Amino acid sequence: MAEAREISDRYTDAINAHDADAIGALYADDGVLSEPAGEFRGREAIVQYWGRFFTAFPDLNGRDEFKAESGDTAINEWSVSGTNSGPMETPEGTMPATNERLTLRGCDAITVRDGLIRSHRVYYDQLGFMTQLGLVPEEVTAG
């Protein structure tokens, strides 16, 4: 198994264990996590991001549906599900739990050098994420 794939699989295991510190340990000190909600630079910012996410979704569970690798980059198509039963920290402040169930599909690309994640790019439908949590209307009509 190549290095990027092994690191990516450990990442998925750490998500399912809700272990933000284990996720952080996979990143270089200057590693970057970029996702639709923002960009998180450095190990500590990434650990904080995942800690907040696990608080918001304490039953979060994910799995890789498809895996590929090219050079130093692992590519995954994944699915996650969980219930927003904890407060969610956002740039605008803390939102109370919605108690809504979330099922989300997305993909990511994890680039590894010297055994650590340097770049992690995540793609998913942010509007779908917010709609499932009841934070935007399900149907928007032109007015």
Q: Read off the pLDDT band of 142 (50, 70, 90).
A: low
Residue pLDDT, tens place only, 16-25 = 999 999 999 9
pLDDT of residue 1 exceeding 60: no
Cβ neighbours, 10 Å, residue 94? 10
Per-residue pLDDT, 122? 98
3-132 fold: Nuclear Transport Factor 2; Chain: A, (3.10.450)
Phi, psi of 94 (to 5 degrees): -90, 130
Give the start-to-end residue ranges of the domains of the chain: 3-132
Instruction: At 138, list the tokens.
Output: 């399900």
List, in sequence order, every residue forming a beta bridge with 82; answer none if it has no partner. Answer: 102
Residue pLDDT, tens place only, 95-116 = 999 999 999 999 999 999 999 9
Give, for 106, the enclosing helix (H) or strand (E): strand 101-113
Residue 121's Cβ-side half-sphere holds a number of Cα atoms within 13 Å equal to 5
